[in-house]
Amino acid sequence: DVRASQRKSHFDLPTYLAERQTQVEIALDRSLPVIYPEKIYEAMRYSLMAGGKRLRPILCLATCELTGGTVDIAMPTACALEMIHTMSLIHDDLPAMDNDDYRRGKLTNHKVFGDDVAILAGDGLLAYAFEHVAIETKHVAAENLLKVVAMLGRAVGAAGLVGGQVVDLDCEGKSDVSLETLNFIHNHKTSALLEASVLSGAVLIGAPEDDLQRLSRYAKNIGLAFQIVDDILDITATQEELGKTAGKDLKAKKATYPSIWGLEESRCQAKKLVEGAKAELAIFEDKAAPLVALAEFIIARTH
């Protein structure tokens, strides 16, 4: 059908992303006013409003619309996902974890507010994510909202982000990490929250189990592809950097997909995962255009 293929090819991802990012920024800004004690709200807002691609909220909004809902229905969940993601970055950057000075082009939270306040800002955002989704979600069956709350809890806890981080810390400095362990780390550190982002939008609407299964496979594929691409870019960027400033210290040893597969095979695997992700969406036809384009966007930069 010519018209269908024209519609597909007319989907403009940069415009879509810009529009959605603006909506998410406005909702996040409104979600968290500064009140007494100002110091903690300012620290929470500093990282929450520091930019970022807002990929997780956008995925949640997209699947809610795909399964028959609206942006308004999913926005509190979308904001909660970004609050959770942001708090994981704040804690990940702490001296006791990755010890990073910069994030999203700005000084890290603890560099500006101190370790003590940064820990509390992360805790504050984590708790507020759950309060916000529970209180602000409108026109959703209580049963579905409860499923979403449970899904967020699972994605962030020991069965998700925290579990992935703890195995990652165990592997620090090791270069002989097995593929199985590497997959475990990324399925928990990265894919768990991406999967919750994709599924929650559909769960709010009470989408049928078949659709949830398809979306879950889509999410798992893009989660892993995202991480492989991240590893590839880390290497190619470091190589460029080394070219410019020869003799600079190499990054700490760390197991990556390219260290197991090599660069070419890693690019090939990422591409296969994205193809697999897109195949899961075929049944939704043009309605899935945003999710198809987002999957392609994730691996667009592999060189």
Contact footprint for ligand GRG (CB under 6 A) = 52-53, 55, 85, 88-89, 91-92, 97, 104, 126, 156, 161-162, 165, 189-190
Which residue has the closest beta carbon to ligand GRG?
Answer: 52
Q: How many CB atoms lie within 10 A of CB 111?
A: 16
Question: What is the closest distance, in whole angstroms, from the C-beta atom of residue 122 to ligand GRG in the complex?
Answer: 7
Question: What is the closest distance, in whole angstroms, from the C-beta atom of residue 230 to ligand GRG in the complex?
Answer: 6
Question: What is the closest distance, in whole angstroms, from the C-beta atom of residue 141 to ligand GRG in the complex?
Answer: 28
* Contacts of 212 by beta carbon, 8 Å cutoff, 6+ apart: 199, 202, 203
* Residue with Cβ nearer ligand GRG (61 or 205): 61
Closest CA to 204 of 283, 288, 143, 126: 143
Angle in degrees, 0-180, between the axes of helices 13-31 and 289-299, rounded to the nearest 10: 90
* Residue with Cβ nearer ligand GRG (31 or 207): 31
167/302 Cα distance (integer angstroms): 26
* Residue with Cβ nearer ligand GRG (38 or 116): 116
* Contacts of 215 by beta carbon, 8 Å cutoff, 6+ apart: 63, 198, 199, 202, 207, 280
74 neighbors 204 (Cβ within 8 angstroms): yes
Question: What is the closest distance, in whole angstroms, from the C-beta atom of residue 208 to ligand GRG in the complex?
Answer: 29
Looking up tokens 């910069």 gives: 102
216/277 Cα distance (integer angstroms): 9
231/239 Cα distance (integer angstroms): 12
Question: What is the closest distance, in whole angstroms, from the C-beta atom of residue 209 to ligand GRG in the complex?
Answer: 28
* Residue with Cβ nearer ligand GRG (102 or 176): 102
* Residue with Cβ nearer ligand GRG (110 or 189): 189
Question: What is the closest distance, in whole angstroms, from the C-beta atom of residue 1 to ligand GRG in the complex?
Answer: 35
Question: What is the closest distance, in whole angstroms, from the C-beta atom of residue 167 to ligand GRG in the complex?
Answer: 11
* Residue with Cβ nearer ligand GRG (68 or 114): 114
* Residue with Cβ nearer ligand GRG (55 or 79): 55
Q: How many CB atoms lie within 10 A of CB 36?
A: 7
* Residue with Cβ nearer ligand GRG (79 or 207): 79
47/103 Cα distance (integer angstroms): 9
Question: What is the closest distance, in whole angstroms, from the C-beta atom of residue 236 to ligand GRG in the complex?
Answer: 16
Question: What is the closest distance, in whole angstroms, from the C-beta atom of residue 169 to ligand GRG in the complex?
Answer: 9
* Residue with Cβ nearer ligand GRG (65 or 168): 168
